Amino acid sequence: MKVLVTGGAGFIGSHLVDALLARGAQVRVLDNFATGKRSNLRQVMGDIELIEGDIRDLDTCRAACDGMERVWHLAALGSVPRSVADPLTSHTVNITGTLHMLLAARDAGVRRLVFASSSSVYGANPQVPREETQHPMPISPYANTKLSAELYTLIFSQLYGMETVALRYFNVFGPRQDPGSQYAAVVPLFFSALLSGKSPTIYGDGEQSREFTFVEDCVQGNILAGTVEGPGIVGEAFNIAAGRPATVNRLLATIQRAVGAEIPAQYRPPRAGDVRFSDAVTEKAAGRLGFAPRYTLEAGIAKSAEWYTAWHAAGCPA
């Protein structure tokens, strides 16, 4: 199986590359290394084909899709705060870039494209837990870009007969997630702060809930979405989540125990664009894809702690 992973040098993308190689796939990676890291691919560099390029360039997307059977499109510019500060760049990368990938995949005869969407598309919808049938109500430019790109993905299935699937990720965490960016996610920021003897920052009261999904479970969902055959899969969106919501305060307490550092948090006002609750229903993915998350929050944090402790001991290499 010849496959392309866009954003394959990123946190989730590099774990997906590992899993695809383990399944015997011939893997091509497209990444511009704006947020991805070469170190994430160091262990597989001799086993993959790497194209360094930007999804905002249509010709690059066409070259990347040439000869591919399946595409996992993970390349994106993440972070709600970054999109609030610079909505135009988020738009061009996440919407225009996705349209380029869809056009390139369609014209190359790619059999199936899996798109990495986001739980942020639910936004201000008051219904919890989140179900795929809910009306999306994005409240940030990032969420809007993910919803728009997701709709493009599903429309291509309807109009052009492409096999497309959208996955709405819920707060994925695990080894290789970068704490170095000013827009880093909460899990790596908590690890970085505690291992450095600093007080972590929590925006809001910490009682906001999230589905903290371990990266190996997210990869499982991706593999299934790209390979499972049957009705009710193509042209659909699926929640990919742990199915076990936890508050940010509980997350911090779990990480504190994992690294043996009881440093209290500093609480600051909530950030613009952040949602209060992000609990998920995963029955659709379970029933149609066979998705079955295996990791509890504690088990995923324990595996992550091993990586972050080693990373910190090595001097926090880039």
Q: Where are the domains of the chain?
A: 2-171+213-240, 173-210+244-278+295-313
Is 142 one of the catalytic residues? yes
Domain 173-210+244-278+295-313: CATH superfamily is UDP-galactose 4-epimerase, domain 1 (3.90.25.10)
* pLDDT score, position 182: 58
pLDDT, average across residues 293-303: 96
- The Cα 184–Cα 162 span in angstroms is 34
- The Cα 32–Cα 9 span in angstroms is 9
* pLDDT score, position 181: 65
Supply the pTM of this predicted model.
0.94
Identical fold at 2-171+213-240 and 173-210+244-278+295-313? no
* pLDDT score, position 278: 77
Architecture of the 2-171+213-240 domain: 3-Layer(aba) Sandwich (3.40)
Q: Which residues contact 224 (CB under 8 A, 6 or more apart)?
A: 285, 289, 290, 291
Question: Can you give the length of the chain in residues?
Answer: 318
Instruction: Tell me which of 122, 142, 152, 308 is the catalytic residue.
Output: 142
- Residue-wise pLDDT tens digits, 279-297: 899 999 999 999 999 999 9
Lowest mean pLDDT: which of 25-34, 76-85, 189-198? 76-85
Q: What is the CA radius of gyration of the chain?
A: 19
Which secondary-structure segment (H or E) carries 239? strand 236-240
Q: Which of 226, 233, 214 is nearest to 292 (CA)?
A: 214
- Residue-wise pLDDT tens digits, 130-177: 999 999 999 999 999 999 999 999 999 999 999 999 999 999 999 999
